[in-house]
Every structure is written in C-alpha cells, then in structure tokens.
Amino acid sequence: MPRYRIRYSKEGAAKFISHLDMLRTFERVVRRAGIPVSFSQGFNPHPRFSFGFPLSVGVSGLEEYVDIDLDTAVSPEEVAQALDRAMPPGMKVTGARPVEEGSPSLMASTERSAYVIRAYSRCSPATGAGSLKGCLEGLLESQEINVMRRKKDGRDIPFNIRPGLLHLSAREEEGAVVLEMDLITSSSFNVRPQEVVAAITGRCGDFGQDSHLDITRSRVLGHGGKDLF
Amino acid sequence: MTLAADQGYGVQLERLLARVQKPARYAGGELNSVVKDWEQTAVKMAFSFPDVYEVGMSHLGLQILYHTVNSRDDALMERCFAPWGDMEIQLRGSGLPLLSIESKRPLGQFDIVAFTLQYEMSFTNILNMLDLAGIPLRSADRGDGFPLIIAGGPCAFNPEPLAEFIDLFAIGEGEELVHDIIDAYKAGRGRGREGLLKELAGIQGVYIPEFYRVLYNEDGTIQSVSPCVEGAPEKVRKRAVANFDQSPFPERPIVPNTGVVHDRIMLEVLRGCTRGCRFCQAGAIYRPVREKSPETLIDQAERLVKNTGYDEISLTSLSSADYTGIDRVARELLDRMGGSGVGVSLPSLRVDAFSVDLAREIQRVRRSSLTFAPEAGTQRLRDVINKGVTGENLLEAVSAAFSSGWHAVKLYFMIGLPTETMEDIRGIAGLAEEVLKKGLEAGAKKGRLKVTVSASSFVPKSHTPFQWEPQNTIGELREKQIFLKSLIRDKRISYKWHEPEVSILEGVFARGDRRLSTVLERAFKLGCRFDGWSECFDYRKWLEAFSDTGIDPGWYAHRRYGYDDILPWDHIEAGIERKFLVREHKRAMEARPTPDCRGGKCPACGVCDGLGINPEISGGAVIAPIQDKVL
C-alpha cells in the first residue's frame, strides 16, 4: 500500500481547527480531491491517516505533516495538487513524497519543533528585546527551569523544561518582541511554547497582562534536527 | 496571519479567541463560505442565528438563504451566531461589538439583520445579540442609522411577543420572499425608515408590526388587530414556493471546521407534511406537501458530495419515509456513491415495518438504536391527536427492528395532551412493556436489550387544531411524570422527561401577545440567555421577570381560548382555514381521526386553494382539492 507524506500549512481561521477535528477535515479533503485513499477494514471503515505531533488550537503551522495511505500509486505531484485544490481556506499543501515501506511512523520520527512567537502589547514593547536578551542568556545557563504542570489527579507539580529547550532567542520587529525557540516535541518528552513564555515571564519581566501572543510552529523536525520531508 | 488583516476588528477578535473555549465557533474561514467585496455590494444582510454555532450550522434554512442571497450580484449575506457565555464575557469586557463571521464586521454596519425564529426559548438571545451589537432593542428607539431588523422562521407565525423589537417579519418560506425584500429595500432605502417600511409593507408575506394597532378587552383578551397605515394588509398571508423541484438549493453548502449537531449533507427530499397530527405546527405551516423529483435529488446529491466531501447524505424532511419512492431513491444513491464510502441515512422513522426495513437496508453505519414516536399511550388518545399510528404498527416496527439486529429502541411520547387521563399515562408504560416483550421474543441479546421512554410536554401552538387548548400546569405535568415513573419498574426500560417549567414558558410565548415584550426585555436584563439549554435556564429569573412586569404567565398558558376569541396571531395566515381548525378540534374531542390527504380524500384545510399552490407529488399522485367532497 503506497504511503505518502504530505506537507501542509495551517494558518488564519484554519489555525482554530482542533487536532481532533483535523481527522474529519482530512477525510473530507481526500473525498473532494478524489484520490484513491485506502480505508481501514471493519465495521466502520476510516481512511488511513497518520498525523504528526498535535498543533495546539490557535497556533499556526507552516510545515505540518500527515501520512496518507493510498490504494494505488499516484505521482506525488498529482497527490499534492489534488489535495491542495481541495483544502479549506487557510490550509495549503506544499509538497508530497512517497514514504518507504517499513519507515517509522510520523509520530515516532518527530523529535523537535521550531516556534516563532510574536508578543504584541498595548504598552509595546512590554519587555524590550535588548534587556530580554541578557535575561534569556541567563535563563539558558540554568540547569533547571521549572514550570507547573497539572497531573491527571488535578495536582500542579513543578516540571523541568530545561532539557527540552534547545534554542531560545529574542529580537524586536515592528513593535513586537519576537521569540524564536526550538523545543523537544516527541511522544516521550515535550515542551510547549506557552510554558517557555511562562518561564520567561517569571524571570525576565512581564510581557504584560494584555499582551497577545501570535504563535507559529515554523518547522517540525526529526531526530537530531533531520528533515522529515 | 490574522483573521481579517485589512481592518481592526479581526485583530481585536483574535485576542479574545485565545481566551474562549471553542474559538472555531467565531473564527469563520470554512470551506464554501462567501466573503464578498463589501464596498461594491449594494445590500448587506446578516443571517443571525440566536443559538450557538453548532446548532445554527445544522440548520438547512441558513444554508438555503445564504446561497439564495449570495447568488445575487447586488447583495451579500454573512452569518452571526449567539456567543456562548464565555465569549459574551470577553465581548463585554473588551467593548468589542458582536461581529459577523465572514468579514468580522459589527452587525450595526449591515443594512439588514435577519434573525431566524426556530424556537421560543431563543428569544432572549435575540435581545442579547442586538445589545452586544450596540443596536437599541426596541424598534421605536432605532432611527435611520440602524439596520433593518427582520425575522422569519416557524415562530414568526405568532410574531407578537417580539413585535416591539423586530421591524419586519417574513412569514413563510424565504426563497422568493428574500428577493422581494432586497428589491424593495433597494427601491426604498433613500426614503428614510418610515418610507422604507411602507415600501416593504406591500409584499405578500411581510408583516410590519408597528403598522398595526392592537386593542384589548377589559378581561385582557384582544378586541381587534388592525392596520393603521395605508398599504398594510388586513391579513398577512404566508409565502410558499411553487415548483419546489426547481427552487434554489445550495449545492456548495458551508462545511464547518468543527463538529456541529448535524454534520452531514442535508438533502431536502420534500417539504410539508400531509399527516395532519393535530398538535404539530410544522405540519400546518409548511403545507402544501411538495416533493422533489428523483432526478433532481440524485443530481443534487452527487454535486453535494463532490463539493463538500461529506460521507453521509441525510434525506431530510418532516417525514422522509412518506416521500414517493423513497426506497428507489435511497437505493440509487447507494448504488452510485456507496463505492466511495458515502452512506445514506434517514433522520426519523415512521412507525411501521416498512421504515425499519428501509433503515436496515440503507444505513451503512448502524446507529445503536432506532427511534419511534407513537406520541400517546392509548389508541383513543392517538386518535385525538390524529397520529394515525396503531399499537400494532408500533409492535410490528419494533419486531422488525429487533429481528434486524437492533437491541435498543427509543420511544417518544408527549404528556399533557388534550383529554389525557391517567389511563393514557398507564398506556405509555404498557406500550413500553410490550415493546420490551417483543425484544425478548426476537431474541435480542440479554444485557443489551433496552427500551427508552422519552416524554416531553405538550405545548399548544398557533395555527393548529389545538391552538385553543389549555396547557397542563407544572403541578399536573409533574404529577403525570411521577406517576409514569412509578409504573416503569423494569430495569431494561429507562425513562427520560423534560423539565415542565421550560414547556410552560414555551407555551406562554407560543401563544402570547405584544404585552409579553416587557417580560422578555426584563428577563434579558435579569440575565436570561440560552433558555433552551438546561445548564443556562433559570426559572427563578423568569418568575421574577413576570412578577416585575405584572404579567401572569398562567393566563397565557393554562386558559382555554374560545373559538370566537380574536387570537394574537389571527392576522397571520398560514393558509389553513379557521373553520378547518375548528372542525378538526371538534373531531379531536370525539377521538375521530382525519385521513391523510395523500390517500386522495381532501379534508379541505384550505391551503391549496388559498395559496394557489397544489401539492407536488413526484410520480404523479394527485390530490384533487375538491371542496364539496369533504371526507
């Protein structure tokens, strides 16, 4: 069964489509696209999709991936074009490539993600990038950066995100503070960009209660930063 | 990338969306949604649904009107839904007005804001939406600078409780009426509010409440309702579409980005219903019955699948099993599309074995249970309400269901029906037990066999033979519910009931008059919202609103109205003649059924003659409305 890795972006209104709703969205996309997608066997057959690490609601994604099984081989260019034409507004297909048989799943291949966060504030910039830079350097020197995580039983316990923070930088752009970070986002260990912002807010000054964070996941990468595409 | 980069509201909205539970409700950007050039479009309408997105997007009427208006070059229609509580807090806290989904513009910037009235308990949401948009609630307080506020849908057939808030009611089907309204709006928009309303008043199906004077008798009943402006008709007659087969149907419906209540293709196979259940308002106001041709349906279904990607086609209508040749159409759809994983479903089943067989054959994805609506527990009471279903029909249907592999059956009943006694309540429990027995006989799996009895409360509605009937009090309804619960002892039968308080309020507004405007406004000010949602409904606030305004809800709900009374909705005509309703009411009291006119006998309800539209039955069955051959 030929498998294809689809690279797509998800921005604008589409960034509010939840991970749960993405399965339904893609089911409809493939039906509109008319490509020969393979269905699971059983009482209630579903197309065979395999998504990568979930994107939070409200976060844009520039290079997201999904693996799709087809019944018959079609040229990757054709698959990409047909899917792109069928995408809902805000989503674009930027590529498709065949996946060799026996390759690990997308989820197992994913190790890290790059995020860009623009912080807009009415009293902008809330925390100037200049002073922020020094503080971030200090932050990266610490062995432990604890944030609170809620456990299943409702208790909040400290969790050290430092091992999952691979890169962190700040600059200023058009009145916004822009943070760039590479985070571990694998099934065994993951750090959320909002947690990094919370850690920065705690140590390097306030972004301000009214600040609005525009979060984009710009890339999703494999082990050691390997391209997934 | 922001939601609407060209202007400020989208950016502001986005800040709020980070703080609400389900931002997809407000974000828009769905497949097939239409965003037109605002500056270049002459008439701008907002379809405003006074409930949450998930409910509103499940409404076929929205999709039909959206398509109809946006097909015009000179008009645009955008959508707006009632914000859920968390979003209302954000809007009020930030001072951002209520925005349309498409271009994120405040409702106040539209020319026409059109509400749909699907349910009485959504009325407070209308006031809340106007308030959030910064639009004065009362028509009298709105000058030339505000949009025209219009409303349509089933509850517009008794528009009076909303008369102070709505400028214009559109009575009946909207496919043609909306064009007439837009044309008249263009012609009259330069003439000020009064001049515009006069231009609109001449259209059939348009009711402008401020052009009518209501006088009351000393006992509180209505003395007269009469037009006080030249050009406003004595009676406003509903609109209905002739040649329904060719009427506009959205072949590119909006496909929501998030799960909604009816998340599938809604293919309307027929409109109207001839069964004549005496409690049913939909059956009365959507007459005459009109079917689409099989060719049209199959053509529309194929386009719909291609344009939406949905995997399910629901054959919708008030009673789809009544569609001539339903099995042929369903089979043909499955033949053509089953290969691509597309299924066909029926939204509701008629109480007979035919419907069950049909459901078994066409439904690819098995629902776990089948639902039937015998409505009443005894044959006597089913004859009173003209349900046209016997106990035998039901037992045959459930036997077919159980032997086809279903092990759960849901039964819908109503309590508080006219002439009901405790015997009828006993009959509900008895039927449930017989159904259970059929399940055991058919060998339904032990432990999975389940019968659910769901009892709602009867609400008398305008334009039906029961429009004069008093509604049971909360005490009476509760007593019947407790009695029924005491009769149901078998653990395999579960019993669900509705809160009687909601039903009573529904009844008050379903038959209310203009004086209820003050109650509605007071309830809204006290914080009533989403009254149809049990987690939001606050009966104490409603009682406070009635007490504050000196209005007795019981007078509206529990009084028997007289045949000679002038009813608040008498000037709104659904096409059914009053003498037919009286005759039907009298037959009900004698427990005499009236046959379905599909059988060929015309009971002379008056609709076909009155509207000049004949029933459209595909396959050529003709119901000759011969007035002198009544029954």
Residues of B in contact with A10 (CB under 8 A): none
pLDDT of B353 above 60: yes
> What whole-number percentage of chain A has pLDDT above 90?
67
* Other CB atoms within 10 A of residue B72 CB: 16
Tell me the whole-structure pTM to 2 decimals. Answer: 0.94
The fold for domain B8-237 equals: Rossmann fold (3.40.50)
- CA-based end-to-end distance of chain A: 19
DSSP per-residue codes, B32-56: T-----TTT-SEEEEEEESS-HHHH
pLDDT above 90 covers a percentage of chain B that reads: 83
For an interface test with A, which of B15, B34, B252, B257 has the most A Cβ atoms less than 10 Å from its Cβ?
B257
Contacts (Cβ under 8 Å, ≥6 apart) of B48: B79, B80, B81, B107, B113, B114, B115, B116, B126, B129
Q: How many helices (H) and strands (E) does chain B have?
A: 22, 19
Q: Token pair for residue A176?
A: 């916004």
CB B110 within 8 A of CB B46: yes
Measure CB to CB from residue B31 to each of A12, A16, A88 and give the nearest one.
A88
Structure-token match 């009828």, residue found? B424
Q: Do B308 and A32 touch (CB under 8 A)?
A: yes
Closest CA to B444 of B395, B400, B393: B400
Cα B468 to Cα B559: distance, rounded to the nearest angstrom: 8
Q: pLDDT tens digits for B477-523?
A: 999 999 999 999 999 999 999 999 999 999 999 999 999 999 999 99
Structural domain boundaries of chain B?
A: 8-237, 264-348+595-631
Nearest-CA distance B35 → chain A (Å): 11
Residues B267 and B265: their CA atoms lie apart, in Å, by 6
Q: Which of B225, B187, B186, B181 is nearest to B203 (CA)?
A: B181
Interface test with A, best of B53, B258, B365 (most A CBs within 10 A): B258
Report, as an integer, the average pLDDT of A15-29. 94
- For the cut 60, the answer to whether the pLDDT of residue B622 exceeds it is no
More confident position, A53 or B111: B111
Which of A24, A44, A89 is the closest to B31 by Cβ? A89
With pLDDT > 70 as the criterion, what percentage of chain B qualifies? 96
Residue span(s) of chain A under CATH 3.30.70.580 come to: 3-103
Per-residue pLDDT tens digits for B571-604: 999 999 999 999 999 999 999 999 988 888 889 9
A212: which chain B residues are within 8 Å (Cβ-Cβ)? 14-15, 18
Tokens of B537: 């409904």
pLDDT in tens, B70-89: 999 999 999 999 999 999 99
User: What is chain B's mean pLDDT, rounded?
Assistant: 93
Which architecture does CATH list for B264-348+595-631?
2-Layer Sandwich (3.30)
Please tell me the distance from the alpha carbon of residue A70 to that of residue B135, in angstroms, as a whole number.
Answer: 53
Across the interface, whether the CB atoms of A25 and B24 are under 8 A apart is answered no
The lowest-confidence range among A172-176, B450-454, B492-496 is: A172-176
**Under CATH, what is the fold of the domain A3-103?**
Alpha-Beta Plaits (3.30.70)
Query: Does B363 contact A at CB distance below 8 Å?
Result: no
Please compute the mean of the pLDDT values over residues A13-40 and round it to a whole number: 93
Q: What residues contact B467, with CB distance under 8 A and at least 6 apart? A: B460, B461, B511, B561, B567, B581
Is residue A32 less than 8 Å (CB to CB) from chain B?
yes
Contacts of B39 (CB under 8 A, 6+ apart): none
Cβ(B98)–Cβ(B132) under 8 Å? yes
Q: What is the pLDDT of residues A64-123, one digit of tens each?
A: 999 999 999 999 999 999 999 999 999 999 999 999 988 999 999 999 999 999 987 655
Residues 67-96 of A with CB under 8 A from B: 86, 88-90
What is the CATH topology of the domain spanning A110-225? Alpha-Beta Plaits (3.30.70)
Q: Which two tokens stand for residue B563?
A: 């045949």
CA nearest neighbour of B374 among B353, B391, B396, B399: B391
Please say whether the beta carbons of B66 and B48 come within 8 A.
Answer: no
A125 preceded by a cis bond (ω within 30 of 0):
yes
Q: Tokens representing B69?
A: 């208006």
Residues of A in contact with B366 (CB under 8 A): 43
Residue of A nearest to B309 (CA): A28
The number of beta carbons lying within 10 Å of the beta carbon of residue B554 is 14
Q: Enter the ipTM.
A: 0.91
Of B28, B29, B257, the CB nearest to A21: B257
pLDDT tens digits along B511-538:
999 999 999 999 999 999 999 999 999 9
Taking the C-alpha atoms of residue B553 and residue A4, their distance in angstroms, rounded to an integer, is 64
DSSP B338: G
